[in-house]
């Protein structure tokens, strides 16, 4: 089985940088993904890390350390529209085709 830990809530101000951490315990691991969900709507894919290191996509970056079973999502130049829930998800425990999601981190961006 798998377990993922991420903070339940993070607050920040516009223009700031915020890091959302995710630690995982798995019996098998292929990679770590991040998803964003606004107001209970459809989750949307942000990033995927299969190898150690940093992946950058615009204002968002994602990092993975396989040896530490740890990853994070870094959001820069925060905007009000970044207020949402962010989920980390791992693949590899129940076969390569499925994801196991963390409970999510609610990010609140204030002016």
Partner 1 sequence: NAGVTQTPKFRVLKTGQSMTLLCAQDMNHEYMYWYRQDPGMGLRLIHYSVGEGTTAKGEVPDGYNVSRLKKQNFLLGLESAAPSQTSVYFCASSDPGLNYNEQFFGPGTRLTVL
Give the residues lining the site for partner 1 (CB under 8 A). 8, 31, 33, 40-45, 48, 87, 89, 91, 94, 96-104
Nearer to partner 1, 95 or 111 (CB): 95
Taking the complex as a whole, the smallest distance from the CB of residue 17 to partner 1 amounts, in Å, to 25
Taking the complex as a whole, the smallest distance from the CB of residue 65 to partner 1 amounts, in Å, to 18
Nearer to partner 1, 61 or 100 (CB): 100
Nearer to partner 1, 33 or 109 (CB): 33
Q: How far apart are the first and last CA of the chain?
A: 41
Taking the complex as a whole, the smallest distance from the CB of residue 20 to partner 1 amounts, in Å, to 14
Q: What single string gives the DSSP state of each residue in 39-95?
A: TT---EEEEEESSSEEEEETTEEEEEETTTTEEEEEE-S--GGG-EEEEEEEESSS-
Nearer to partner 1, 45 or 56 (CB): 45
Q: Among residues 89, 70, 82, 77, which one has the least CA distance to residue 108?
A: 82
Q: Among residues 96, 101, 90, which one has the least CA distance to residue 48?
A: 90
Taking the complex as a whole, the smallest distance from the CB of residue 44 to partner 1 amounts, in Å, to 7
């Amino acid at each position: 089985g798998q377990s993922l830990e991420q903070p339940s809530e993070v607050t920040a101000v516009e223009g700031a940088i915020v890091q959302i951490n995710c630690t995982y315990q798995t019996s098998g691991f292929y990679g770590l993904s991040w998803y964003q969900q606004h107001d209970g709507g459809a989750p949307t894919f942000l990033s995927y890390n299969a190898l150690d290191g940093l992946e950058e996509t615009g204002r968002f970056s994602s990092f993975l350390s396989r040896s530490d079973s740890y990853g994070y999502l870094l959001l820069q130049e925060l905007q009000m529209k970044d207020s949402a829930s962010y989920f980390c998800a791992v693949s590899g425990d129940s076969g390569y085709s499925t994801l196991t999601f963390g409970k999510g981190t609610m990010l609140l961006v204030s002016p």
